[in-house]
Amino acid sequence: MAEPHRWHQLLVAQEGPAGTWTLVDGFDCVYATIELRRVNAAEVRYRVSFRGEAIGWSSTLRLACERVHGEFLRNHDPNGGPIASWA
């Protein structure tokens, strides 16, 4: 049985310049940046930044996208979202 088609955060990652991916929200605003970095002669890692602040490193682009998108979602719940100006 074929696996159903599923959306993944990697689908919203836009590459450019080489080795750099940006993730954009529904308003075309960049909310995350992922940069490919060489750790040593044999290893590479992905540096994950959310709204300009580094939040960690990942071993794969897929994992980097998942982590930063999770941070994006956490910033939209009542416990992590901005405080309303009228409150």
Per residue in 25-50, pLDDT (tens digit) is 888 889 999 999 999 989 999 999 99
Pair 34, 49: CB distance under 8 Å: yes
Whole-structure pTM value: 0.76
What's the whole-number mean pLDDT along residues 54-58?
A: 95
Q: Has residue 34 been placed in a domain? A: yes
* 8 A C-beta contact, residue 13 and residue 32: no
pLDDT (mean) for 53-67: 93
pLDDT, mean of residues 70-78? 81
Quick one: average pLDDT of 52-69?
A: 92
pLDDT in tens, 2-27: 556 666 667 778 888 999 999 988 88
Is residue 5 situated within a structural domain?
A: no
1 belongs to a structural domain? no
> Does 79 fall in a domain?
no
Query: Where in the sequence is the domain holding 28, given as residue range(s)?
Result: 11-74
What's the confidence (pLDDT) of residue 5?
Answer: 62
Cα separation, 87 vs 78, in Å, equals 13
Residue 83 lies in a domain: no
Q: How many domains would you assign to the chain?
A: 1
Q: Residue 81 has what pLDDT?
A: 58
